[in-house]
Structure formats: C-alpha cells, structure tokens
Amino acid sequence: MIRAILLFSLSVVSTFSVADSISCGDTLVTVSDAPSAKEPFFNVKIEGKSISKNHQFEIQKDYLYLRCEITSTGKTVVFINHFCGGSGCADFGNYGVIEADTGKVLLEPNQPFKGNSEEAKEIMGKELKPFNCKQADTEICMHSKIELG
C-alpha cells in the first residue's frame, strides 16, 4: 500500500513543470518550464507590491536564462537570454530586457538566428557579462524538457 502511494505521488509530481525564483529589487521573478507540448512556453512571472505580470517565451528556443541586473542608469531589470541550440542559432545572444518594477518589455528576444547583442548593450549601457548558470540564487538557467512533435 505504501509503495502504491509513493508511486502515485511520484507520478503526480512529474507532471508539473519545474519552477525557480530569484529576487529582483522588490519583485520576485519566477520561471517555469512548459507543462506540456500543448502549452509550449516558458512562463516568467514578475510579482511585486504593485505588479503581477506574466511573460511567455516559446520553448522552440530550448534555453531560457535570466538574472536581475542594474543598467548603467540605475534601472533594475530582468535580463534574459532566450536561445536555441541548433547550428543556425545565435548561441548566447538573443537577449530580452524587462523592467523589474513595471514589467515593461524594453527588448524582445526575437532574433534567434542573428542575435541582438548590440541592442542589449545599448539598453543596458554596458558590456554584457555571460551567464555562468552556477549561481542558483542569482541566475535561472532552464532547458525545456518538452519535445515538440
């Protein structure tokens, strides 16, 4: 009986998406993988005292990395790299920038094949440092586990 309950609880857990959170100024940023191929999006939820916004990013671009950063003008932003891993993709260079306190999108990560590093540098006002994906408290690095057919 205990074995059956354990197996059932493991199967229930495995159907839910994985989520990670980081703090960004006074906001909490939570990222979750797609729950299924029927809902093929990473979900980024930004929640604070006066904000609750959801942003979705296609899992066709398998990777979604993000961290909190401060621009050269002192604005707190969610800095994103949303890229694919194929030979035609702009590895490590399809950036997005979202204001942490308003949820306003300053740059869409919509250049998966040619990248948009120059636009990101202009918005950030500084050189872009690479994600290292080893600091779980300051960076979230996801690779979608969902296979699209």
- Mean pLDDT across 28-46: 93
For the record, the structure tokens of 75 come out as: 């604005």
pLDDT at 10: 35
pLDDT in tens, 70-87: 999 999 999 999 998 877
- Mean pLDDT across 126-142: 90
For the record, the structure tokens of 50 come out as: 């006066």
Q: What is the torsional sign of CA 29, 100, 139, 88? A: positive
Q: Read off φ and ψ for residue 101, nearest 5 degrees.
A: -85, -15
pLDDT at 60: 87
Determine which helix (DSSP H) or strand (DSSP E) holds 19, and give its type and residue range: strand 19-24
pLDDT at 33 over 80: yes
Distance of CA 94 to the CA centre of its chain: 12
Confidence of residue 149 (pLDDT cuts 50, 70, 90): low
